[in-house]
Structure 1
């Protein structure tokens, strides 16, 4: 067996892994990155990017359907899924080629194959033994299935992404990010959609005002959903699937999409054998992402917390800088920005109002909302929704929550507000351009500062 030594050996070439590799080589370190499939991982090939391409196609479909609302006469003749998938693959392939070029230009040693941690400084890939002065575990995540076989009438997101036709009806198990995004796409494409969610609200991790606002919007779009309803079982046959809930309800649809989240991809990777601390498959690392074993770090979806591509990337960059001795700043999990790209979009960062009251005491929390009904740009878009800011009295804004068409584009300022601990007076002083949806942030801040412009 051949043996090679590097400054860093990275096990996984998804967002966390390749971000770590690129930053580390930029800092002058030698890097080997092991990837069983394609560099870019789930996000690029079976997750974020192909999903958002479908959502863009869905947005266009909605615009054509509703064009007369803007005085534009058009005819809608249907969804050409072959062309939609061609558009989708075009975006993915362009991003993939760019990433391959970056990895090569940075002189990252890309090792194709299934790697396994075989020592505190060793990853074995077939006949190759890679020694790392530091090892970074970045093996990603997989679709949870509740023990059901996925791929025929019961789908995971990776199957749903590449359906070559629009189903007439779909039941979606799970009303979180993945579930509501696919519900939005399929409804725009003309399918009948029903979401089954066990918790009291859709997108249950969001601020309750956002959850309720999304539920109202989905009702107006004709998207069916049941909350507080637990799944019992499903049976598939050649023509579709029958879904049963614990309260005795039964649903029949062409497909069932299982969208209950993702689990850490750590099984049979050698982690436990090397003493890596684990909990339900997740790797337990400290706030600086060190596992407590040798010079082994863990990043991305295998570390408890938000399973988001940009969080994974920032963790990869963080670890590269940590290894280089740059002492990078820790980013708190609550302060990672989040966008759900359904229609209407959700953008949030920081604490929900309920969580803020739990942390600081209900008597110490105030909030304000700016509604799209009073925003000119939103009216041009025929958008409904709001921006909500949550603040500690006489202290910083600790939560930014927004719902509405294209509102994800406002997350940048939301992230700065929360992470830089701005207060309402700081924000109300800034000029927000008219006419833009961005104005709603300024108006919510003015309301918090005691000088509301409207109302």
Structure 2
């Protein structure tokens, strides 16, 4: 057991915590980081990164089964599930080791254990119930993240009902699967398992899948998934789950009618709750609302010396949001006077097939805010590169303020849109109007030309459709 003093102590080593710690060290602060499990947090070890490795494998499986479209043929195409999972875990391990190296390189002191507020400027660190250290710091930043919400009666059991963890390391490739929830997590798993050959049913309580996306994008993706053979039940609720010897029967109610669906496995992906327990928040006087810590634009909780960032503070639950929020917080502590953190320009990406990406206001939100809008749309079927790639299914939608030309939002579905969305993010950050975008030269042939055409369409100047 050791007593040590630091300028800043960060609790949680995910993409919010470790980035904050490194930035603090760059600013010549003496920084400690406390992590109870794996550096890189859920995102790197059990979320963003390993799921993308799995999805890459499923994309390859899809391509291998569509080889004739590209002039190739192959017989007896199959996959080794153990190797697919092993590759995913290997990618996560490699990057987690990289985070450890970066922290060491920047002279951040790392403590293995669980942190708990223990008085003003004090954090007690324990491991397996035993004291490890008492850390003193003027500034304590909480970055403990969030976890999957568990619904009563649908608790993951590690066998028939999976959380995201079991879904990432499956012991079998189920022939049939029910996914409860159609947000980014649920849809990514639905897409992975469907592309690997499983019969997939998605159950969504709200009236449409991908409910945070623009309605047109949701409708477009609904059709795409149905073409792929998914069964989508919207406005539906799970009334019960009955486990059998080798399967699970899910009772679903939609439109006043109940139906039973039997599948080999169920994935529960019904939301996020903040990791606020056992941190000493109540004793410290930190305000918590609906499992999330309340903060201002600099991560301040209202209690002197205590800050919170990332998923712990609420939506959007995104790694890049957590990292940026942490940088703003630590730069404020260091006296650099950064702009307060805001969520108005945080892009969202869903890595299903085809991909989905968006930033800013949907058309409906813009109208609710009293904006008069101009809408531009462009389908991938009008884009030469998309057709040449064999990826003609996609669309881009842009939302402009009709009076000022401000780019209010951009919404995309199709191949590689998660890479392209940053173009619109930069445009919004620079407060670009339609004039600058219309006069920007986009390279040919690229899918990004569809972004330009969507802008042109909003102002009646579209060329290729």
> Shorter-chain TM-score: what band?
over 0.9
User: In the aligned structure 1, how far is the partner of 2:397 from the partner of 2:383?
Assistant: 14
Structure 1 position 378, deviation (Å): 0.7
Aligned equivalent of 2:102 = 102
User: In the aligned structure 1, how far is the partner of 2:155 from the partner of 2:211?
Assistant: 26
User: In the aligned structure 2, how far is the partner of 1:76 from the partner of 1:431?
Assistant: 46
> Quick one: structure 1 residues 382 and 19, their matched pair in 2 at CA, closer, same or farther if it must change by over 3 Å?
same
User: In the aligned structure 2, how far is the partner of 1:253 from the partner of 1:215?
Assistant: 21
| Bigger mean CA deviation after superposition, 310-319 or 245-254 | 245-254
| Bigger mean CA deviation after superposition, 175-184 or 414-423 | 414-423
> Quick one: structure 1 residues 427 and 2, their matched pair in 2 at CA, closer, same or farther if it must change by over 3 Å?
same
| Secondary structure class of the residue paired with 1:225 | strand
Q: How does 1:153-164 map to 2 (within 5 A)?
A: 153-164=160-171
Are positions 1:245 and 2:252 aligned together? yes
Are positions 1:196 and 2:214 aligned together? no
Equivalent residues of 1:425, 1:449 under 8 A apart: no
User: In the aligned structure 2, how far is the partner of 1:442 from the partner of 1:152?
Assistant: 48
Q: How does 1:78-117 map to 2 (within 5 A)?
A: 78-117=78-117
| Secondary structure class of the residue paired with 2:118 | strand
Aligned equivalent of 1:69 = 69
Equivalent residues of 1:64, 1:76 under 8 A apart: no
| Bigger mean CA deviation after superposition, 440-449 or 133-142 | 440-449
Structure 1 position 329, deviation (Å): 1.9
> Quick one: structure 1 residues 275 and 76, their matched pair in 2 at CA, closer, same or farther if it must change by over 3 Å?
farther
Q: Show CA shifts across 1:57-94 (max 9, x none).
A: 01101111101101111234322111111211221122
From 284, 288, 304, give the equivalent of 2:298: 288
Aligned equivalent of 1:19 = 19
How many correspondences in the alignment? 453
Aligned equivalent of 1:176 = 183
User: In the aligned structure 2, how far is the partner of 1:65 from the partner of 1:260?
Assistant: 32
Aligned equivalent of 2:135 = 130
User: In the aligned structure 1, how far is the partner of 2:458 from the partner of 2:433?
Assistant: 9
> Quick one: structure 1 residues 312 and 76, their matched pair in 2 at CA, closer, same or farther if it must change by over 3 Å?
farther
Structure 1 position 117, deviation (Å): 1.2
| Secondary structure class of the residue paired with 1:248 | strand
User: In the aligned structure 2, how far is the partner of 1:115 from the partner of 1:321?
Assistant: 23
| Bigger mean CA deviation after superposition, 69-78 or 301-310 | 69-78
User: In the aligned structure 2, how far is the partner of 1:74 from the partner of 1:332?
Assistant: 51
| Secondary structure class of the residue paired with 2:454 | helix
Aligned equivalent of 1:336 = 346
User: In the aligned structure 1, how far is the partner of 2:321 from the partner of 2:284?
Assistant: 26
Aligned equivalent of 2:10 = 10
Structure 1 position 114, deviation (Å): 1.3
From 369, 382, 385, give the equivalent of 2:394: 385
Structure 1 position 11, deviation (Å): 1.0
User: In the aligned structure 1, how far is the partner of 2:146 from the partner of 2:397?
Assistant: 32
Q: Show CA shifts across 1:37-67 (max 9, x none).
A: 0111101111111100000001101111101
Gaps of 5+ in 1: none
Q: Give the TM-score, by structure 2 length.
A: 0.95
Equivalent residues of 2:251, 2:259 under 8 A apart: yes
Q: Give the TM-score, by structure 1 length.
A: 0.97
Gaps of 5+ in 2: none
Structure 1 position 448, deviation (Å): 2.3
| Secondary structure class of the residue paired with 1:360 | coil
> Quick one: structure 1 residues 420 and 331, their matched pair in 2 at CA, closer, same or farther if it must change by over 3 Å?
farther
| Secondary structure class of the residue paired with 1:400 | strand
Equivalent residues of 1:376, 1:435 under 8 A apart: yes
> Quick one: structure 1 residues 217 and 136, their matched pair in 2 at CA, closer, same or farther if it must change by over 3 Å?
same
Equivalent residues of 1:173, 1:196 under 8 A apart: yes
Q: Show CA shifts across 1:193-220 (max 9, x none).
A: 0000000110000000110010010010
Aligned equivalent of 2:422 = 412
| Secondary structure class of the residue paired with 2:369 | helix
RMSD of aligned residue pairs (Cα, Å): 1.2
Aligned equivalent of 1:374 = 382
